[in-house]
Amino acid sequence: MRKTFILITIISNLFYSAAYPKNNLYEKIDLFGEVLENIKKDYVDDVDHAEMMDSAINGVLQSLDPYSAYMSPELFKEMQTDTRGEFGGLGIEIGMEAGVVKVISPIDDTPAAKAGIKAGDYIVKIGKEQVQGKSLLEAVKLMRGPVGTSIDLTVRRKNVKKPLEFKILREIIEVKSVSSKIIGQEKNLGYIRLKSFNENSDKQFLKSIKEFEKKYKLKGYVLDLRNNPGGLLTQAINITDFFLEDGEIVSTKGRKVSETRKFFARKGDEVKGKPIIVLINNGSASASEIFAGALKDHKRAIILGENSYGKGSVQSIIPLKNGGGIRLTISKYYLPSGKSISEVGVAPDIFVEENSEDFQINSEKDNQLNYAIKLFNS
């Protein structure tokens, strides 16, 4: 009955409001109890009631959005444990869509990216396990494992009829978030690739800019956020601020006053008004969308590539009395224009789609980057 109590508590906390009369809520809880009794008495097979309740709790949370989820005590403890040196990953950011795990983006130079996993792929099998019906965190758990071991992933890809199979070797994922170089026929463009927004991204990013500004007479910058799954909100704000003199960068809105805030740029453009092109694709999410959306709204940059992912929400991890926890969406991001990023993403000013199966970011076959370079020369 402990699991039932937890589920009822979650339901009450999530749905009890003036918009949902108290009597109606209790009627639904009574109905839920009636369903459980019928399952217990009449279902054809024996049922693991604890496992069933976990699924029910998770169903409540996942009915809210793709990012809210329940963690059992075992899973919650595992997620909190520092497993550095013991467990490896694949290097993909994932979310849920219609009960299936969807790849938000593969991270550059990780096993998943090298194997050919792409943003927008749907993972339907992990090893021999069907993904349908599992929670996001259960899928993450299945993909984790000792460094040096392999995992088989079966994916469905848009416009590809047959499922694709990949064998991927787990590695410890260490992401250097910023890389930079001089590009263009005349070597007069600064190219900065931002792979994630982690704790030191702003310092690495600013270091690249200052070196470019000191050593070269640049015509402009290409800032590459393709397959960047996001990261820390503070980093998105800091890096966006490098290119704006003033104005709003982003706002967050939640039910609590503490989750409703606005963030503004401070005076000072680190590249002194030079033209900027920002590259995005379907794997650009969350903090990447804040950055691209703010520069677009302020008309500070041309956004080129494909529509971004559309993850415009903030999640918080909330411990539960049973030792488990929930991941719950507590606020949403809004661009300076007032538009929400959620589910719609940021649309590019210039739409340029990847043009080949062997497309590779920052290579000779990178038609999006080549298009950006041509714009500066036109």
201 flagged as catalytic: no
Buried (b) or exposed (e) across 19-58, using 16+ Cβ within 10 A? eeeeeebeeebeeeeeebeeeeeeeeeeeeeeeebbebbb
Give the separation between CA 292 and CA 160, rounded to whole angstroms.
30
Of 118, 195, 296, 311, the catalytic one is 311
Give the separation between CA 278 and CA 280, rounded to whole angstroms.
7
Contacts of 107 (CB under 8 A, 6+ apart): 91, 92, 93, 113, 173, 175, 195, 196, 227, 229
What's the order of all strands across the beta sheet hosting 189-194? Answer: 178-183, 189-194, 220-224, 276-280, 302-305, 350-351
- Are 131 and 159 contacting, i.e. CB atoms less than 8 angstroms apart? no
Geometric angle at alpha carbon 205, from 188 and 366, rounded to 5°: 55
* Gyration radius of the chain's alpha carbons: 23
Task: Work out the number of other CB atoms within 10 angstroms of the CB of residue 257.
Answer: 7
46 flagged as catalytic: no
Which residue in 228, 167, 155 sits closest to 194, CA to CA? Answer: 228
Of 105, 180, 286, 331, the catalytic one is 286
Amino acid at 26: Y
- Side-chain-side CA neighbours of 241 within 13 Å: the count stands at 15
286 flagged as catalytic: yes
Of 297, 308, 331, 366, the catalytic one is 297
Q: Which amino acids are annotated catalytic?
A: 286, 297, 311
